Structure 1
């Protein structure tokens, strides 16, 4: 089984080597903008092969790019226009349904590339050298540069793991170049007996993650601190946008991405905390595909400030990032993730099986079963339901030898059968004789 990681290597370049890297990154950025203008003039072209034929010779002559970079640049531009076309079609569909009146303007002007980042292909543009050095291509030929990085990533490279493409990235604040390398790491094929426990992870906004296992051990991670930080960024952006001066615009540019990095760091730490607290676990995650389309509703220009704030917080909910971090880190820590159906996880009683919206009075923090009176924290109930559904997947894996890490949500009949099966699951002292509820 192979896991793809990204190793961030810090290049220990000399001033002369940095000048060579500056020249090639600036030339590559100019080449991207040139190819983007050509693609925009050709009806926003998104076909990489056609665009490459049109601009390859110009990229070689005008910007002096090596052959492989002259191929990578039009591919990157074509990929950017594919994204723009996808957003355009999504906007058209939303306008047809009456969800918005705004027209998507991303294709009105050529895509502009600002970042000094270029793509290297292993074996052609860069390769490993002895004594922890890497050879990278520049306009003046190859440069052999020593590097540092995370000890585990360096060990994978020394062991000769499979290497893919890399990105040369420039951090302006530190005036430092980094090489972001794709690594394919081989790990042992997981088996059911490798996982000593089954846990469920319920994600939300009040509590970013509530985790419980079948032995009634639980972990609550409040989202209050992250929410306050997000609100601070929102107020700061609003103030600067209203001000509208040149200095305010510069300030907006400076803080751009800071919130994204904060949330990414938060999710990294949270995922690591879950994996350390519950080692060698079979982890159940909710399949929340298209959750925003089902819950956010339409825009209301007359909505109150409280409603607008709630909707902004919901739109910034980063559950997918947390789940993706858990998914790629779990195999490296002896665990494994599987997605289960999210239907009724916060409405189904784990004691009697009664399922109803009325079990959550006013959609509050506590779950109170209308049938048996069982009372528990609603997010803890959700994580328990997820854990039970993950346990069913693990039992099926043991019985059949096959495992699907994502439920087939497109097949209505198969999903109905699964939900009927889930309705018979119970969380009781019989299943956990040495624990109390």
Structure 2
């Protein structure tokens, strides 16, 4: 069956700020408390998505979530008007307010794990929203992500599950720890799940391992995947402690090609053998392993070489790496990309894209997108208002310029007017994306 790989990018929300909330994410911690630019951030993200749509790829968008998450603050005992809730919460704990104001749903790679219909037992496309229980600010996302996916992917051909139980044994960080390889997008493939720990495993490293093996196994079961075509790999502790809080910081794949750092997996030879075995009869995997002596792990993480989009471009017989400009500015990654593309390997071109506002919070081009393989019928069933076009890009650009702030200072989060600014933007967005006038909590209250 024919299929295309669509990229659905998270629209960066109007409260984009540098809260430094993600322990183990070096960029997030380094830029804690810096002044952000929500307008520049959203325009960078939209520009990246439009460029790929113009190149002939199927490109969609996912809506930001409502922030601040005032309902969460109310469950913690803060009461009164919206302004009173923010004021009292700020007095009690500015850090808590930063959590409920986080625009982290912008990183759609964490939104869910996706299994295309070619892989599943019932022939439907399955999605499991991530529960993201390992960090407070991200643990608020699961239910809203499920609601968004049901509005963007309506119809019987999509099976959208609820998140896994909110328990650390089943900690799930979404597609950032999932890679699918195949001969072509519409054909059956091999699904690779990467975990950092088992549920009862004692955390002994410098940074926590987030994804659990149990979560990976549960998702494979509920998606009805063939166990012979599933590979569970353990992330290397050295990579986690270097700042690879998700596998997509050190690994990315497309079609039959896996592009990864030497230190990505706990046992690289075991990983290669397991993938090759699972792919038997379907395709021959191609491994592009980057040695640490050519790209030190520190450079790989600060430049986000592997948090790039690896794309099959229309009319091209080699893959393209859509990498952050930081890779061009880092000597080791720039030189490696030049050597790689002048050879005869599977990756033939590198394009550099500016998403600095996201990068400063620890999210590269790949963090901003959720990959969804769609058949023709599934593509037709998608909410068409969420698919990128010249008209939608113009509407979203005008919307962002009208509603987003040029700058957001850390203390601005205590200003009640930010609540209304954010809600005004989101209310207008629901009309542009055909999400309905009851999509956000404030619209239903």
Smaller-chain TM-score bracket: under 0.3
Q: Structure 2 length as normaliser, TM-score? A: 0.23
**Higher helix proportion:** 1
Structure index of larger Rg = 1
Higher RCO by CA contacts (8 Å cutoff, separation 6 or greater): 2
